[in-house]
Amino acid sequence: MLKLDHISYAYQASKPVLQNISFNVKDGEYVALLGESGCGKSTLLEIIYGLMDLKHGQVFYNNEKLLGPKFHLIPGHPFMKYLAQDFSLMPYTTVAENVGEFLSNIYKAQKKARVVELLEVVDMLDFADVKVKNLSGGQKQRVAIARVLAKEPKILLLDEPFSHIDNFRKNHLRRRLFGYLKSKKITCIVATHDSTDALSFADTLHIIRNKKIIASGSPSELYHHPKSVYVASFFNEVNEIPYQLLNIDREGKAILYPEQLKIVEQSEVTAIVKNSFYKGTHYLIEVLLQRQSVLIYSQKAYAKNSNICIAI
């Protein structure tokens, strides 16, 4: 088990990046760190990997304290692999040579089979003999993923692992990669701002804001019971509507996704249509509820400035 115990970190004493971060990661678990750019996700991965020395807090793996670069000639830990956003590939060698760089040449048949296995996971087998310098950014990122898996780490740390990959290929790659990691029982921690990396695959989510973890739980728990609009906004468009506007006798505001509202024939809650956006499987209807903009899913478009009725 990996354990983070009350970690705080600052590049400058007066400007903390992380404050009092604590959580556990079970063996084989996939944990996603969600947060907007600059919230400290990447720094937290670097701390876990051992690239930073800590003054406040500790990291343990199986009850052994993990130390930073002051205590290691080569920073990092041999049972972990960390894929940063710069990839660190060898541009003038082939894709296969990059993936197999740290594999033994004594057993060449096994090495070749391992490289082929990993290139199939990231759908890059057809590019095995292509030099890395001739690849696109997305292709390089897929090679980098295969490369960090070559010696099969116990823990894999990924920083925005699909940021350069085309949307049409991204979902397929997610399924292949996270399915492979689960089959090998490799613990995975992913830092991302894209909830799709987490919602369908993660066991646990930690949402970071203002240097702290503000929400933790399973994807289902956080999606259905978000503590704030900020948390809900990672998963979908979101409405924050005063209960009184929904004709509900209650103080405060309701946090509702567009699919939690519907347009009906009759209701005491009426609104004016401002826009209808085609989304393929549905329309996103923007309406004005008194003076507040509200988003609703619908199976059909509505004319601009038409009056509609709303229900939860």
Sequence spans of domains, the chain? 2-233, 241-311
Fold of 241-311: OB fold (Dihydrolipoamide Acetyltransferase, E2P) (2.40.50)
Just give the CATH number of 2-233: 3.40.50.300
- Ramachandran sector of residue 12 (left: φ over 0; alpha: ψ -120 to 50; beta: rest): beta
pLDDT tens per residue, range 105-131: 898 999 999 999 999 999 999 999 999
Kindly report the backbone phi and psi dihedral angles of residue 12, in degrees, each rounded to the nearest multiple of 5, phi listed first.
Answer: -125, 140
pTM of the model: 0.91
The neighbouring-strand residues paired with 211 are none
pLDDT exceeds cutoff 80 at 147:
yes
pLDDT tens per residue, range 4-47: 999 999 988 778 899 999 999 999 999 999 998 888 999 999 99
Pairing of strands 56-61, 64-66: antiparallel
CA distance 15 to 10: 6
pLDDT interval class at 73 (50, 70, 90): confident
